[in-house]
Structure 1
Amino acid sequence: MNDILSPESYTYLLNLIIEYAPRIILGFIFLIVGNSAIKKVINILEKFLSSKNIDKSLVPFFRSLLSMTLQVALIISVLSMIGVEMTSFLAILGAAGLAVGLALKDTLQNFAAGVMILFFKPFKVGDFIEYEGTQGTVKEIQIFNSILTTIDNKRVIIPNGILQTSIVTNFSSENTRRIIWTFSIAYGDDFEKAKTILFKWIKNDKRILKDKEPLVVISELADSSVNIMVRVWVKSEDFLEVKFDYNEKVYSEFPKNGLSIPFPQLDVNINK
């Protein structure tokens, strides 16, 4: 190195190492300790928010936001400790931030959308929603994305900006839902008998709300069947259970009562 550097350069480099090495080591230690402290602060905040009567949707959002803020503050503190001139650094950071902001406008849009979702609450943590054919329970609303868990336990991550500007169906927003069935019987079968059986089931089913009148009518005279439309109201949490139960009951009980369940068929007549 002596052959490459002049004595003055060597002395200058040595002085730099002597001056900045302790700062860099101290900054590195501070960075490790700071990260550990941030994790503890985040855990304390999460436990505090979870223990209070606070919307569950806000917990992961505030956790992510506070974590990001503290990480930025930690990095600035470490740079200042090392000896970086903060006035110039912040000016450069501001200019870089503008450029990054333009480059990451979609990310910023997702952040703004996350705030809007938390404020206006089109859905919240625990709701069952559908977006473009994907159905799932909302597990987290983070600062950039929302996380769903599907019925078959798949994890779906959707950017908040897309959810904010798209049509989202929330199946959990209302306390009650209406079930609509279409059951078919054959031409010549006794509709009144089918109607009586259905009303009897509805009357004896505690899951079906009695303050809203059920409906059992012939909705269509189809090519191969007489279609019966049934409408009832249930609590949202009972929707699927009741819907599937009546499908099974009709399939098993109608034939026992002389009511056939037809299927499409074609009669071919040959004239000789």
Structure 2
Amino acid sequence: MIDDFNRKSQSIVYAIIVLIIGLYISKIVKKLVSKFLFKYNIGKGVTNFIVYGIYISMISVVTLTCLEIIGVKTTSVVAVLGAAGFSIGLAFKEILSNLGSGMIILFFKPFNIGDYIQGSGVEGFVSDIQVFSTVLKTPDNKTIIVPNLQLTSNNIVNYTHQEKRRIDFSYIVSYDSDIDLVKKILSDIFEEEKRILKEPKPIIGIYSIENNTVNIVARPWVKTDDYWDVYFDIMERVKKQFDLNKIEVPFLMGVPYYNNKSCLMNNTTRSQDKNV
């Protein structure tokens, strides 16, 4: 063993030098690639994936080169690693599936950091997009870690992807109520509210007629950031105007009512904003 070490001592020294230089160059390339991607506003998740992919690849090449210098047959090493990788892949197929799903999310971008999404039975603001999982933060400040496979294999609702959103109000009033008056009240409120967009124009109309009630829908458009602020303000103002103008609705079992005079119901989507 001593004689063999003496014969290969020079090769070992060369291998150590190559290893040190290779690791140093790998770190420099890692920093340069990271700065380049951030310069062109590439997403954080994609940047991390590319940077560490290049870094690990360079280290692997340097390691194989050092083994070749020492005299180790790298073809055998590669074959062993390939067989081991196949076995590991079968054992950790769900982890690899999450990796593949993470690549899909990072490159196709169904959502970005800061978006409010709903998927796989959970919802919240996207706090971070990692290779294996996505981190969500709920409006009540809880952290949810969702495996990427669960997101890509289910429907994803992105509430903040678009700049504008429509608020769907639904008001149940008595069959004998003055429908024109109800529509005028809603129209005047929408006209006075500056945060409601002029285009597309709000829709106000009768949605359904029951035995003793009329269901009126009102659908204004707002900027996504103003959604819940406008929703709460409009609901309060409509309630006050309905009471003031004596818009009545009969008492219905299981239906909320106010002073047995006016009833306001809303079929809007459930809360998905930090203000709720």
TM-score relative to the length of structure 2: 0.70
Question: Helix, strand or coil: the match of 1:152?
Answer: coil
Provide closer, same or farther for how the CA distance between residues 42 and 190 of structure 1 changes in structure 2, counting only shifts above 3 A: farther
Would you say 1:247 and 2:238 are equivalent positions? no
Runs of 5+ consecutive residues of structure 2 not aligned to the other structure: 5-18, 255-276
Match of 1:136 among 93, 100, 124: 124
Q: Does 1:163 align with 2:151?
A: yes
Query: Which residue number corresponds to residue 258 of structure 2?
Result: none
Task: Give the count of matched residue pairs.
Answer: 254
**Is 1:173 paired with 2:164?**
no
Structure-1 separation of matches of 2:220 and 2:130: 37
2:172 to 175, 184, 196: 184
C-alpha spacing 1:84/1:231, structure 2 compared with 1 (3 Å): same
Instruction: Say which SS state the counterpart of residue 252 (structure 2) adopts.
Output: coil
**Is the contact made by 1:57 and 1:125 (CA closer than 8 Å) also made in structure 2?**
no
| Equivalent in 236, 241, 252 of residue 264 of structure 1 | 252
User: Compared with structure 1, are the counterparts of its residues 94 and 56 closer, same or farther at alpha carbon in structure 2 (3 Å cutoff)?
Assistant: closer
Q: Percent identity?
A: 37
State the Cα distance separating 1:255 from its structure 2 match: 0.8
Q: Which residue in the other structure is 1:26 paired with?
A: none
Among candidates 103, 116, 129, match of residue 115 of structure 1: 103
Letter in 1 for 2:87: A
Q: Is the 8 A contact 1:209 1:234 kept in 2?
A: yes
Cα displacement (A) at 1:55 = 3.1
Q: Quote the offset at 1:96 in angstroms.
A: 0.6
Structure 1: segments with no counterpart, 5+ residues = 1-12, 17-30, 267-272
User: What root-mean-square deviation, in Å, do the aligned CA atoms of Structure 1 and Structure 2 show?
Assistant: 4.0
Decide whether aligned partners of structure 1 residues 47 and 147 sit closer, same or farther in structure 2, where only a CA change above 3 A counts: farther
Q: Which of the two has higher C-alpha Rg? A: 1
In structure 2, the residue matched to 1:214 is 202
| Cα distance change, pair 56–245 in 1 and its aligned pair in 2 (3 A) | farther
Equivalents in 2 of 1:221, 1:154: separation in Å? 42
Cα deviation, residue 265, structure 1: 4.2
Q: Distance in 2 between matches of 1:67 and 1:137?
A: 30
Q: Is the contact made by 2:125 and 2:137 (CA closer than 8 Å) also made in structure 1? A: yes
Give, as a single letter, the amino acid of the residue that structure 1 aligns with 2:133: N
1:234 aligns with 2:222: yes
What SS does the aligned partner of 2:220 have? Answer: strand
Post-superposition Cα deviations, 1:158-196, rounded to whole Å, max 9, x if no partner, equal: 222222221111112322222211012234332222211
CA distance in 1, matches of 2:64, 2:231: 58
Q: Distance in 2 between matches of 1:154 and 1:38?
A: 38
- Residue 203 of structure 1 corresponds to 191
Matched residues in 2 for 1:41 and 1:245: separation?
A: 54
Q: Which sits farther off after the overlay, 191-200 or 67-76?
A: 67-76
Q: Which amino acid aligns with 1:225?
A: T
Q: Which amino acid aligns with 1:137?
A: F
Given that 1:224 and 1:263 are in contact with CA atoms closer than 8 Å, whether structure 2 keeps it comes out as no
Query: What amino acid sits opposite 1:233 in the alignment?
Result: W
User: C-alpha offsets along residues 62-111 of structure 1, whole Å, 9 cap, x if unaligned?
Assistant: 35545655776788799899997755433322211111112222222222
Matched AA of 1:252: K
Return the alpha-carbon distance in structure 2 between the equivalents of residues 132 and 94 of structure 1: 34
Is this contact kept in 2: 1:224–1:265, CA < 8 A? no
Aligned residue among 83, 89, 109 for 2:77: 89
Over 3 Å counting, the alpha-carbon distance change for 1:113 and 1:15 in structure 2 is same
